[in-house]
């Protein structure tokens, strides 16, 4: 939903070289604006919300996201163009304004997606995640809304991972730590170890991406849950409910169903060890000609 910026009380990017065009999204701690740069080029600017400008933790998280994005270079990750501060001391991140839509928006328009197309999108997003994982970054909030399908004229859309705002960063890149044991992420995509406060690593993102792939093809999740289930019900499902087989609820190749089932194992040790291994298994389960054909039809 677009919001009329004229109705906003202040210029959210005052003191920067960007001019707000419109508000295009946001979350609990930051707003995302479409903004024009000095030469008229459009950017997506993620800036700390006004009411959180005195929150050191919220500011540190946004700065950490900017620092890690600056360290990552991959075609399946959205690049950072600039990191700075507004006049009133709120950090912001400037990224190119991409043409296209999120995977969530595609799903809302189309319902279920062809298995080959869904597989190509998820495999590409996994390539980006693997690049992040190699730098010690675990996303922790993998979901359709954080996968952007970049439009590319006659070429297939290119998936790019968005929003590393709650990523777990190890080593020198870590600027902040969580002060208390809280569950971070979106409940529908939480891996069991996230819920239990266990070790979070690449396999955590593999689990979430397995749910994303299942949903894209089946237009429903892998558990027999009603829409709008409460948090406790969702957590119990992740911890103890066996997921449905993808080929039991959708017209999907059995080989791809087996791949998804392994990604959704409760124990991390039984999943694919890396995002790259999961991507390779997906590509191996779908015929190459089906892959390319589905990409062309869906673009």
Catalytic residues: 141
Q: Which two tokens stand for residue 189?
A: 């995509």
Q: Is 46 assigned to a binding site?
A: yes
Query: Phi/psi zone of residue 255: left (φ > 0), alpha (ψ -120 to 50 degrees), beta?
Result: alpha
Q: Kindly tell me the burial class for residue 192, based on how many C-beta atoms sit within 10 Å of its own C-beta (0-12, 13-18, 19 or more).
A: middle
- Nearest Cα to 256, choosing from 283, 224, 219? 283
74, 139 Cβ separation under 8 angstroms: no
Q: Which DSSP string corresponds to 88-136?
A: TS-EEEEEE--SEEEHHHHHHHHSS--HHHHHHHHHHHHHHHHHHHHTT
SS (H, E, C) 166-210: CCEECHHHCCCCCCCCCCCCCHHHCCHHHHHCCCCCHHHHHHHHH
- Cα–Cα distance between 210 and 100 in angstroms, integer? 23
Which pairing describes strands 168-169 and 19-26: parallel, antiparallel, or unpaired?
unpaired
Cα dist from 234 to 20, 137, 191, 213, whole Å = 38, 26, 11, 18
Residue with tokens 């995977």: 103
Cα dist from 212 to 43, 221, 234, 246, 292, whole Å = 27, 8, 15, 12, 20
21, 34 Cβ separation under 8 angstroms: yes
Rg of the Cα atoms in the chain? 19
Residues at the binding site for ATP are: 46
Residues at the binding site are: 46
């Amino acid at each position: 939903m677009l919001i009329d910026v004229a109705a906003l009380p202040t210029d959210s990017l005052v003191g920067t070289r960007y001019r707000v065009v419109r508000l295009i999204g946001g979350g609990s701690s930051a707003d995302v604006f479409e903004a024009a740069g000095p030469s008229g080029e459009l950017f997506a600017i993620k800036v700390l919300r006004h009411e959180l400008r005195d929150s050191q933790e919220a500011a540190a998280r946004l700065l950490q996201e900017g620092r890690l994005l600056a360290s990552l270079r991959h075609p399946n990750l959205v690049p950072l163009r600039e990191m700075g501060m507004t006049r009133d001391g709120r950090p912001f991140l400037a990224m190119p304004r991409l043409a296209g839509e999120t995977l969530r928006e595609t799903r809302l328009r189309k319902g279920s997606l062809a298995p080959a197309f869904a597989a190509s999108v998820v495999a590409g997003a996994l390539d980006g995640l693997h690049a992040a994982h190699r730098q010690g970054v675990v996303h922790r909030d993998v979901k359709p809304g954080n996968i952007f399908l970049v439009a590319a004229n006659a070429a297939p859309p290119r998936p790019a991972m968005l929003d590393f705002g709650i990523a777990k960063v190890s080593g020198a890149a870590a600027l902040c730590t969580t002060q208390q044991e809280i569950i971070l992420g979106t409940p529908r995509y939480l891996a069991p170890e996230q819920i239990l406060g266990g070790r979070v690593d690449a396999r955590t993102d593999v689990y979430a991406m397995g749910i994303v792939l299942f949903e894209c093809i089946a237009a429903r999740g892998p558990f027999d849950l009603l829409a709008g289930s409460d948090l406790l019900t969702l957590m119990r499902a992740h911890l103890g409910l066996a997921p449905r087989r993808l080929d039991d609820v959708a017209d999907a190749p059995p080989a791809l169903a087996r791949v998804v089932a392994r990604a959704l194992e409760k124990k991390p040790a039984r999943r694919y060890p890396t995002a790259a291994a999961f991507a390779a298994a997906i590509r191996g389960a779908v015929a190459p000609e089906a892959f390319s054909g589905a990409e062309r039809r869906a673009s």
